[in-house]
Amino acid sequence: MNRALYLVAMLVALALFVAVPCWRVPTALAADHREAPIVDGIPEGDITDVYLFTDPNDSSRVVFIMNVNPFSVPAEASSYSLSPDLLYQFKIDNTGDAREDLVLQVVADIRGTGQTIRVFGPSRPSNTGARNTLLRGDPAVKGAFGQVIQSTDGAIKAFVGLRDDPFVFDIGQFFRILNNTQDVFRAIPSAGFRGRAVRADGTSGVDGFGGFDVTTIAVSVPKSMVRGQKSKINVWATVSQHVSGGEPGFAKSEGRGKGDHDDDEDDDAPRPHYQQFERMGQQVFATVFIPKGTPRDAENAEIPEHDMANYSGLIPDALTDTDASVVDPALKNTIQNRANLLTALGLTGLPNGAPLLITGNFVNKDKHLLRAALLPDVLRFDLDVPGTEQDIGQFGLQNGRRLQDPSVDIAVQLLRSLADVHFPAGVPGGGSPIGRVALECSAFPACQDRRVLVVVQGTTFNKPDAQLNDFTVVGNDRPFSNTFPYVGTPHPLPGEPGTVGFPPQQ
């Protein structure tokens, strides 16, 4: 606990001061599964999750993973693959300016699971931003869909194929809370909060992603290949659609010298050009903070360099340890009083909530703390931090993102303790909303912004109560692999041994 708080405190040094327009309310959350109109129509380009972590079997290597094709049904496993019209990229900033210095590019040749996969990079791109070209030169790795492939020197390993969806979340109950047919993830009868009942195994959540597969794109490279002058890197994933130039995929890119990435005007073999329509960095950022529909498509087409200017007004102020606007110490809108309020409501102990991750003695004097943690929307990763560290709150939500990190619980734990909420008069946070960017809950317990009720328990209860203090995923329907690509193996055809049905509802 002390280590986690210390690491969260490091965010203060990153805080930036920005102009804050009015708060707007989004309407969806599901990692990034089917989160925007354009990507909903291009499932091969719909990024569900992005992961970045030290290779568990070799601390000198780093693993990049993005998953696409959400809600792939095991009965139709052979129908899921990459699209040859799309360019899949991991973008790597190793200078700290939120602009890619290196890219890892992945393309396929044909439709269907018989396709050949090619991986280019990590190399310096000839152009940065939302419009990209395929790297020149021979691919670093080439091989079949569904197989682990590697370069001749063993430096780069890759895998593209069907895998179990590792995301665990009670998405059904989340939508019920937003739609006001339920109030919280677990019922609190004494307070009149509607929610799920506790089951015999000590859980109450239902994994809405259980039984489904995704198409995994995984690449493992030596850390030395992506390191800059410092050990910290920023990473995000993008998918772009072929718009002009050479044949999409890779037919025109091979046969060039490795490392030749200048955009020569007299190049007689034009490279394909691609336009970005999808991206993802930190878990659930867009689906929590960006309004659904056209604004979500616009955010997917944007670049991290613009995130602070574009989206800072969508992030609530962070609570601080002081509040000069209120005289009564018990009503000050502070971290300590938020902790006191959650405790008084019985939300920091079982069976009604998870223990506090951020306790009242956490020191923060900057109301822009959450903006610094969440913007730009990239995964922040320190290559020199041991892979066994959880590092919750060190950079953004955590250091990189491991498969076993409970992504939603980490987010709701931090937000329930630090996000400013306008509560009714007479409770901490119940003062004037003027000059604040806060979630609106002045009608508590109803809450106009029902995301307050989403985070108030600090967990979705998808793991047994006895394990709520263990910040690892519990309840995934397929075990993670001990070898690359580490994502769990895909589900078998229904009816075969190992079949996992959709999780039973209550």
HSE-CB of 237 using CA atoms within 13 angstroms: 27
Looking at residue 250, its pLDDT comes to: 59
Full-prediction pTM beyond 0.75? yes
Evaluated on CA atoms 228, 232, 366, 424, the torsion sign reads positive
Looking at residue 252, its pLDDT comes to: 47
Q: Is 28 left (phi over 0), alpha (psi -120 to 50) or beta?
A: beta
Looking at residue 179, its pLDDT comes to: 92
Distance separating alpha carbons of residues 219 and 149, to the nearest angstrom: 10
C-beta contacts of 53-56 below 8 A and 24+ residues apart: 53/381, 53/387, 53/400, 53/401, 53/402, 53/403, 54/223, 54/383, 54/385, 54/386, 54/387, 54/400, 55/220, 55/387, 55/484, 56/387, 56/482, 56/486
Beta bridge partner(s), residue 148: 159
**Is 378 within 8 Å of 101 (Cβ atoms)?**
no
Residue 340 DSSP code: H
167 class by beta-carbon count within 10 Å (0-12 exposed, 13-18 middle, 19+ buried): buried
AA letter at 280: M
Looking at residue 397, its pLDDT comes to: 74
**Per-residue confidence in pLDDT tens, the chain, 506 aa:** 333 333 333 333 333 222 333 333 334 444 567 777 888 899 999 999 999 999 999 999 999 999 999 999 999 999 999 999 999 999 999 999 999 999 999 999 998 879 999 999 999 999 999 999 999 999 999 999 999 999 999 999 999 999 999 999 998 999 899 999 999 999 999 989 999 999 888 889 999 888 999 999 999 999 999 999 999 999 999 999 999 888 887 554 454 333 343 444 445 567 899 999 999 999 878 878 888 888 899 999 999 999 999 999 999 999 999 998 899 999 999 999 999 999 999 999 999 999 998 889 999 999 999 999 999 999 999 999 876 555 666 567 788 999 988 888 888 999 999 999 999 999 999 999 999 999 999 998 889 999 999 999 999 999 899 888 777 877 688 899 999 999 999 999 998 988 877 766 66
Looking at residue 266, its pLDDT comes to: 44
Looking at residue 264, its pLDDT comes to: 43
AA letter at 261: H
- Tokens describing residue 335: 């971290």
Closest CA to 204 of 393, 500, 457: 457
Domain extents for the chain?
A: 2-169+207-318+366-419
Q: Residue 118 phi/psi, 5° resolution?
A: -125, 140
Looking at residue 24, its pLDDT comes to: 37
